[in-house]
Amino acid sequence: MLLKSRPAHSLVGALFKAQRNVRLLSASTKPRVLLLDPINLAHEELESLKSEASLIPLTSTDRASFINDLKSDYKDITAIYRHFKGTGSINITGRFDEELISQLPSSLRFISHNGAGYDQITVEPCTARNIQVSNVPSVVDDPTADTALFLMLGSLRQFNVALAQAQAGSFHRGLPLSSDPQGKLLGILGMGGIGRALAKRARALGMTVQYHNRNQLSEDLEQGAKYVTRDELLSTSDVVSLNLPLNAATKHTISTPEFKSMKPSAVLINTARGPVVDEKALITALESGEIAGAGLDVYENEPQIPAELLRHPRAICLPHIGTLSYETQKEMEAFCLRNIRTGLSTGKLSTFVPEQKGRW
């Protein structure tokens, strides 16, 4: 008996359907990565990740819908990418606190956080659930130190006061004399990568550097900086630069007692995190003359900046732009995406936040 041959168009259709099913099966077996914030610059690394994972965009509109979507649209995700910026996904998800972390899918293994500071994530419950957390520990060192240097020079030389006079049409009439950096003593609270990068820049200006950490650095990392107690640093420094992480122990680490112990001629620089400074106490210290000035890139309740600071002639206020350069943002994105790829291929991120070092 002769078998009827299938029409050519039927064979083509069957082949197309089979290929589509293969593609769907391949996509379904890829690990799923939730992108809470867009990748704007690291296009090459994004394409590489696309070849290895299914990328899921954030579609939730608020924290409640996000938690609900974790059980449906975002179920079975293996990794999360997020950005620290105050105008980003945090306005939808809120902080990654214990409540939110308890709702994350059991499949989640990695959170790649785009930022040096990671106070938006409570690490302990992540560790308890076997979720690895990474930040961007070194890419930000130089650009943040550059920002601190700008704020330090501006505060010492009172460039903002001079600029305001120029804009008002007054060509330095009655402008008070400012201070040069040369010969001044810079005190760094938190001598990590950013602190050391700032110390290098300060030495080039002829400044002397002292610092305080929980532990003294090795001589090669100190690079001539003097290790002192916290009290000595605050009472003797001409410039106090804050370069320490935000956590329960460092919140409001600079408040009324600290300002009272500082020299009346000293200036405070903060490029760390806003809440390490008690802003109300800072405003009082500026208005009373307890300190000579402040250079700030971070604030307690970002994106809000207190009006008292914005209008104070001896406060320089930047809107958290320390790492907002093209080169830095691109590398920060690329770093995070490479870290996710490493985690997906090896089961272990290439870097962890300090609290998780040695865990995996």
Strand partners, 208: 185
Decide if 52 is catalytic: no
225, 209 contact by CB (below 8 A): yes
* Residue 90 vs residues 14, 59, 83, 276, 323: alpha-carbon distances, Å: 47, 13, 8, 20, 18
Q: What is the DSSP string of 88-133?
A: STHHHH--B-HHHHTTS-TT--EEEEESS--TTB-HHHHHHTT-EE
Nearest to 124 by CA among 147, 103, 100, 97: 97
Among the options 109, 212, 320, 341, which is catalytic? Answer: 320
Distance, in Å, from the CA atom of 217 to the CA atom of 200, rounded to the nearest integer, reads 15
Decide if 273 is catalytic: yes
Among the options 52, 222, 232, 302, which is catalytic? Answer: 302
345, 90 contact by CB (below 8 A): no
Decide if 320 is catalytic: yes
Distance, in Å, from the CA atom of 282 to the CA atom of 255, rounded to the nearest integer, reads 7
DSSP code of residue 277: B
Residues in the chain: 360
Three-state SS string over 34-78 comes to EECCCCCCCHHHHHHHHCCCEEEECCCCCHHHHHHHCCCCCCCEE
148, 271 contact by CB (below 8 A): yes
Three-state secondary structure call for residue 225: coil
Among the options 201, 273, 312, 341, which is catalytic? Answer: 273
Residues tagged active-site: 273, 302, 320
